[in-house]
Amino acid sequence: ANCAHCHVEAGGGNANMELEWHRALVDTRTIDIEPVHTRFGLGPSARIISPGYPANSVMLRRIISPGPGRMPPIGAVSPDPRWIQLFSQWISAMKPADK
């Protein structure tokens, strides 16, 4: 993924995520956490990553959505369908209590 160069403590990304490769998942501040910015119309169930529910996961929505809010904003013209499938499966495999 092309996220950790910005989404780290001193990286310039304005989300409260820490996505360095060496962090434990629980320390990334992504699992079952409400998004700071847009919810992409997902309503109150929106989470950065919603364990077991890819459809409620803002991070996935940012990866697949064109236009404003898309991530990464540079470096890719269109999302990789294999990455989308893998990321969706990973979220689906999480138990809602996983943190």
Render pLDDT for 17-51 as a digit per residue (tens, 0 to 9). 888 888 899 998 999 999 988 888 899 999 999 99
Give, for 96, the enclosing helix (H) or strand (E). none
The structural domain count of the chain equals 1
The confidence score (pLDDT) of residue 1 equals: 59
- Residue 11 inside a domain? The answer is no
Asked if the structure places residue 81 within a domain, the reply is yes
- Please report whether residue 98 resides in a domain: no
Tell whether 22 is covered by a domain: no
Q: What is the pTM for the complete model shown?
A: 0.84
Three-state secondary structure call for residue 47: strand
Domain that holds residue 45: 30-93
Assigned domain for 21 exists: no
pLDDT tier, 6 (very low <50, low <70, confident <90, very high otherwise): confident
Q: What is the pLDDT of residues 48-76, one digit of tens each?
A: 999 999 999 999 999 898 877 778 777 76
